[in-house]
Structure 1
Amino acid sequence: MPPSWMAACTFTARGLAGHLPVGTTGRRDEMTKVKMETELPVEPENVWETVGRFNALQEWHPAVESSEMEEGGKVRRLRLAGGGEIVERLEQLDEEGHAYRYSIVSSPLPVGRYTATIRVRPAPDGKGSVVEWSSDFEPQGPEQEALETIRGIYQAGFDNLRKLFGG
């Protein structure tokens, strides 16, 4: 993995106040799961305008320099800040439910069979929104390394969303 990608997504597993990571059972015959979320003080529709566009990751994630669409908009090729590339496929889009599911086709990340969902929903108190990012994958190497890498990616995105939308 390019050092710049790791630097852009560095985080500490402890002290993620306001974010809810979900770990794993530790069994290697099961998929490893990560689920994190963050609250933003704006309406879900406003957040979805940015987060919901499959080809807009570079607008809100600091590790993504550019995104190019292929295969009629079903595949995005992400160029990472400092080098490297991730290719992802849009598996399902639910505009009404403010969610999309995607899979990784190729990447330098230590994961295989990776699928993820990004969802935006109203905050429980009705004021603002919650952005949820969850995934299932098979670690390629030590499970803890894969967990920390994916959590770091999500955390970097959430941190930047809070800069963009407040919170």
Structure 2
Amino acid sequence: MAHTSVSLEVPATAARVWQLIGGFNSLPDWLPFVPGSELSEGGRVRHLKTADGQVIIERLEAFDEKARSYSYSIVEAPFPASDYLATISVQEVAGSASSLVTWSGSFSPVGVSDEEVAQLFHGIYEEGLMALKESLESGDKERLR
């Protein structure tokens, strides 16, 4: 099983960041390459539509409002991986108005090496967290709704 993790300090309090990213259906609010998301099964499954029209279906596996984290698995996706489980979490950075956001995942490669699939998800996590940081820095009020 392969894994990767990306952490990034962002210029906002943990409460503000969690308000933006803590909803399981909130990816379109901060992740430009996922412009659409619809929930099913009582909010436990999200159907994502990527900017290039692909569909990704994910299941919420764990949610902890107090710890500001959630974990999800992939039900269906165009990725060369199985047994995917990822976690997004937000933590306060002591003595500042910043937060540390971590996006990590583990997965089994399908038809590719551990390194190749880890690089794929590392890139997705890294680009996603940079988009989050840019959104927070821009102060885009519409994205916080």
What's 1:112 paired with?
Answer: 82
Q: Deviations along 1:109-153, whole A, 9 cap, x unmatched? A: 111100011000011444310000111110112222211210111
Partners in 2 of 1:43 and 1:80 — Cα distance?
28
Matches within 5 A, 1:94-113: 94-113=64-83
Q: Deviations along 1:2-40, whole A, 9 cap, x unmatched? A: xxxxxxxxxxxxxxxxxxxxxxxxxxxxx2111110001
TM-score, normalised relative to structure 1: 0.78
For the pair 1:48 / 2:18, whether they are aligned, the reply is yes
Partners in 2 of 1:126 and 1:33 — Cα distance?
30
Identity of aligned residues (%): 39
The answer to whether the 8 Å contact 1:100/1:117 transfers is yes
What's 2:98 paired with?
Answer: 128
**In the alignment, residue 43 of structure 1 is paired with which amino acid?**
T
**In the alignment, residue 75 of structure 1 is paired with which amino acid?**
V
Q: Which runs of 5+ in 1 are unaligned?
A: 1-30
What's 2:122 paired with?
Answer: 151
Q: Which runs of 5+ in 2 are unaligned?
A: 139-145
Q: Deviations along 1:88-124, whole A, 9 cap, x unmatched? A: 0001110011000100001001111000110000114
Partners in 1 of 2:73 and 2:31 — Cα distance?
17
Partners in 1 of 2:133 and 2:71 — Cα distance?
22
What is the root-mean-square deviation in Å for CA atoms of aligned residues? 1.3
| Secondary structure, counterpart of 2:42 in structure 1 | helix
CA positional deviation for 1:82:
1.3
Given candidates 125, 132, 135, the residue that maps to 1:161 is 132
TM-score, normalised relative to structure 2: 0.90
- Aligned positions, number: 137
Misfit runs of 4+, over 4 Å: none
